[in-house]
Structure 1
Amino acid sequence: MNTRTLFLGIDCGTQGTKALILDSHSGQVLGLGTAPHTLTQGEHGRREQDTEQWLQALTTATQRALTQAGVSGQQIQGIGVSGQQHGLVLLDKHGEVLRPAKLWCDTESAPENRQLLEWLGGETGSMQRLGLVIAPGYTVSKLLWTKIHHPQVFAQIAHILLPHDYLNYWLTGRCCSEYGDASGTGYFDVRSRQWDLDILRHIDPDRRLEQALPELIESHQPVGGLRPQIARLLGLNPDAVVSSGGGDNMLGAIGTGNIEPGIITMSLGSSGTVYGFDPQPQVSPDTSVASFCSSSGGWLPLICTLNLTNVTGAVRELFGLPLDAFNQLASQAPIGTEGVSLLPFLNGERVPALPDASGSFQGLTLANMTQANLCRAAIEGTTYGLRYGLDLLRQNGLQSHTIRLVGGGSKSPLWRQIVADIMNTPVVCTEQSEAAALGAAIQAAWCVGAGRQTLAQLCQRCVRLDHAGETLPEAANLLAYEHFYLRYRQQVAALTE
């Protein structure tokens, strides 16, 4: 008897879209499909994407996932969408996209962010009002930037959506947002879980922006059914339900089973994130900690570094190295890379808060300037930024006996060992490294109410840990890394001065 209960999870990231087919009855991932995006980069930190690429990639990735799974799209009962946080998608009254989406890593609106932060009363005022400190890359400064630099676009705004909201709109025709992703906009109070309309009225006294806000829904609520033409295009069951979805970190939490206190998830992707679950809105006194809402009914204190595999990838491309060769070279260098260090702030940085910083190799001599040292310095330097963030979370009461590691960097045994040693914490990967896509599929199963299971029951069945690959800190390495992490902290302190 066929007892499969199939769900489709979509994750629209910076570099591409992933689609995943989950059988929630067995907990097995049956198929995975991917399709790439390109990034438009310009002066002053511009990072944008054409939303049409997202739609094409979603279509392609879905077909590839169904093919790999060997199942018909007509069997899919629900769809969940994860999207990169903070991005801005603007629609006109006809539902047409007005301009390319500005992304989380776009820092072109940093001057506007400073202007808004000043209006809020600085970091203290922002914390008191919103429960977090707005940062360059958050959605709110992109709205003011659009008003200043593209007034003709601003005048046509009818809908303000985040990337995952936009994909849900394309699938269903309904504009709405859920609390987790909404909490990263900068015009949302994370404690009361409501839009902050005053900051939007400050940007636009005519109140068009507040009228363009999507409806807020709970994480377990569906957005709706598929539009018939989209069901035909994707070859999916026209009765499939689209769940609320969420931001990539929020659904990555579900995809790693991080829905109760005591678990830390660390993502080694283009950016680096570290987060844990909290049942209460504990607003951190540390301005670098974002006390976002989760997409599982609680809160998700989080830190984000803007520089991770984008930095190791840049060093790898500089030397023309395939990934295996890069890892092999890095493994040949000693801890601390013979005095070479990399401050990896190629995108500026959010944690530590250095939006205008640039990257630099330090400590170079004729004797230590080798490819091996530079490759390892890229891994160590980016990982120190995650340690900096983890220290902040731990100071605010989040504890864990293990770190659940996801993202592209987690596939490297060398990087896993470096994380375990620098954090002095055991590291375990999930069997499914595409945690956000898996979390989206699990959330869809929860939303549809398959078997009336709780989210915890679904995560217990569908989130599987790779215990064979568990990596423990090596005692001999801990002291050495503490020394070099202290050097990193001193270098960062010199920059902030």
Structure 2
Amino acid sequence: MTTTKLFLGIDCGTQGTKAIILDAVSGQVLGQGAAPHTMISGANGRREQDPQQWLEAFALATRQALQAANVDGQDILGIGVSGQQHGLVLLDDQGEVLRPAKLWCDTETSPENDRLLSHLGGEQGSLERLGVVIAPGYTVSKLLWTKEQHPVVFSSIARMLLPHDYLNFWLTGRACSEYGDASGTGYFNVRTREWDLQLLRDIDASGRLQAALPELIEAHEAVGTILPAVAEQLGLNRNARVASGGGDNMMGAIGTGNIQPGAITMSLGSSGTVYAYSDTATVSPDASVATFCSSSGGWLPLICTMNLTNATGAIRELFALDLPRFNDLVAQAPIGADGVCMLPFLNGERVPALPHATGSLHGLTLDNLTQANLCRAAVEGTTFGLRYGLDLLRRNGLQILRICLIGGGSKSAVWRQIVADIMNTPVICTEQSEAAALGAAIQAAWCTASADGEQDSLEDLCQRCVKLDASSETLPIAANVAAFQQAYERYQQHVATL
């Protein structure tokens, strides 16, 4: 009788790739690994990465995780991949990458997005047709941009994949996508769960883009088994099944057990995201709410802010502060940072919808211009953006019992308290902070069970494998809630001037 069932979960994010080894029987994470990525940046909002880096980071993080878990790669039964959403990976007919992948945080394609949006009939037309309002970060504007700026590359496109689709293609040789990640392309209808082929024909009448689309599979379906050469390179079992995988938000939902109504996951990463589970495709009339499909068979109403730990990190670098010192300074400053308000829109912003905005500081005086206040203002400003998004979800009728906090920022006790107070909602973290990698491993166990005809449901797996960290539970403090409400209103007034 097998006492362990081992799965590899991979999360290929903007800053790096994380790997975890999960025993789906005990629900324990046995080992982890991580490897960094670098970004290609330009002053015009260009944000790109070389997909070759992802493959190298995948291999390195996997080796580290296997070593940390002290397990043999031949015992891995399945692999699940979580990827940063919206990125565009273009391949030629040999399966070779044609140019660096444009990422979710790239705003160079804003003009193309504006033109596509007006072609769809504005925000309302986009909502009616696709169920989402396309934004500059989405994949569709990257296609139009490529056609106009790189016609030779465009004429060579044989496949167009999202980052996690590309990793699955590298692992298995099969090009597929699942509904969750596909929802963020801008050429997919979230209500009918189908590609919008007409929109691709409008971009290019030749039919080239339609032919380059991956096939769509269900969340519980495996893509296939790992290619022998890749299995050898990674030191993994060549019979290991590769799960459908998904976008990092969809996998983060699984990794926090957010697969039924009432739960909210909030991620404090490079970007900030807030999402809930819904079993119906209730499309919000608000353009900022993306009603994506989930990777668990339902929908995932979601808001995403473009600036979070990138903004707090910029302040830390400016003052050469390590994390503990930064957190100390945040805790020293009062709520509202003595009137200092930061609009942290260093990357432009999606929620609120200000793609061309830049960061700014307001309310500075000779008395309040301190390191502590600037650190505090960065944390408060980024968290106010999430509050704005959470209010949109609440207006959409979503019930919120508590917030499950993930991402780098969730490790800070002072930030957890700030979130609980600003949102006026209890906050708790999962024991496993790499929720997307955990979700990918859980989904791999689900796909493998489905393929083997076993009865291990996603609910069963989440119950066993998603563990809440009771010591992290943080309740809102009434006096703080009232003080933050005033500071939040001040933030909204500053945003209104933009």
Q: Into which bin does the TM-score normalised by the smaller protein fall?
A: over 0.9
Please name the residue that 1:125 is paired with: 125
Give the counterpart letter for 1:94 in structure 2: Q
Aligned residue runs from structure 1 range 35-54, under 5 A: 35-54=35-54
Structure 2 partner of 1:460:
463
3-state SS of the aligned residue for 1:346?
coil
The aligned residue for residue 108 of structure 1 is 108
Structure 1, unmatched stretches of 5+, are none
Q: Which amino acid aligns with 2:119?
A: W
Partner of 2:339: 339
Q: 2:145 is aligned with what amino acid?
A: W
Q: Determine the C-alpha separation between the residues in 2 that align with 1:93 and 1:397.
A: 46
What is the letter of the counterpart of residue 209 of structure 1?
A: L
Q: Confirm or deny that 1:473 pairs with 2:494.
A: no
Counterparts of residues 283-294 of structure 1 (less than 5 Å): 283-294=283-294
1:489 aligns with 2:487: no
**2:299, 2:378 → 1: CA distance?**
32
Cα separation, 1, equivalents of 2:179 and 2:331: 42
What's the C-alpha RMSD, in Å, of the aligned pairs? 0.7
Q: Distance in 2 between matches of 1:286 and 1:122?
A: 13
Post-superposition CA distance 1:326-366 (Å, at most 9, x none): 11111110000111010000000000000000000111111
Extract structure 1 runs of 4+ deviating beyond 4 A. Answer: none
Letter aligned with residue 462 of structure 2: C
The aligned residue for residue 441 of structure 1 is: 441
Deviation at 1:107, TM superposition (A): 0.4
Per the alignment, residue 218 of structure 1 pairs with: 218
Kindly state the Cα deviation for residue 2 of structure 1 after the two structures are TM-superposed.
Answer: 5.2
Give the deviation of 1:43 after TM superposition. Answer: 2.1
Report SS of the residue matched to 1:45: coil
- Letter matched to residue 470 of structure 2: H
Map of 1:233-244 to 2, 5 A cutoff? Answer: 233-244=233-244
CA drift at 1:462:
0.2
Deviates more, 1:396-405 or 1:439-448: 396-405
Distance in 2 (CA, whole Å) between partners of 1:301 and 1:256 is 15
Partners in 2 of 1:292 and 1:338 — Cα distance? Answer: 39
The corresponding residue for 2:145 is 145
1:154-303 equivalences under 5 Å are 154-303=154-303
Q: Report the Cα distance in structure 1 between the residues aligned to 2:178 and 2:345, rounded to whole angstroms.
A: 31
Post-superposition shift, 1:290? Answer: 0.1
* Residue 44 (structure 1) shift: 1.0
- Residue 136 of structure 1 aligns to a residue whose secondary structure is coil
Query: Counterparts of 1:311-350 in structure 2 under 5 Å?
Result: 311-350=311-350
Shift of 1:493: 1.4
Q: Which residue of 2 aligns with 1:9?
A: 9
d(CA) in 2 for partners of 1:41, 1:468: 39
Q: Matches of 1:297 and 1:42 in 2, distance apart?
A: 38
CA distance in 2, matches of 1:16, 1:62: 13
CA distance in 1, matches of 2:162, 2:432: 26
Deviation at 1:397, TM superposition (A): 1.0
The corresponding residue for 2:382 is 382
> 1:256-290, CA deviations, whole angstroms, 9 ceiling, x for partnerless residues?
00000000000000000000000000000000000
Shift of 1:452: 2.2
2:385 is equivalent to residue 352 of structure 1: no
Sequence identity of aligned pairs in percent? 72
Counterpart-to-counterpart distance in 2, 1:426 and 1:319: 32
For structure 2, the 5+ residue unaligned runs are none
- Determine whether 1:136 maps to 2:136: yes
1:30 matched residue in structure 2: 30
CA distance in 2, matches of 1:468, 1:411: 12
- Equivalent position SS for 1:468: strand
Q: Distance in 1 between matches of 2:288 and 2:236?
A: 42
* Aligned position for 2:305: 305
Q: TM-score, normalised by structure 1?
A: 0.99
1:389-425 Cα deviation digits (max 9, x unpaired) = 0000000011111100000000000000000000000
Separation (CA, whole Å) in 1 of partners of 2:495 and 2:285: 20
Q: Which amino acid aligns with 1:170?
A: W
Displacement of 1:23 after TM fit?
A: 0.2
- Give the whole-Å Cα distance in 1 for the aligned partners of 2:315 and 2:29: 33
Residue 59 of structure 1: aligned partner: 59
The answer to whether 1:423 aligns with 2:423 is: yes
State the Cα deviation string for residues 436-463 of structure 1 (Å, max 9, x = none): 0000000000000075210000000000
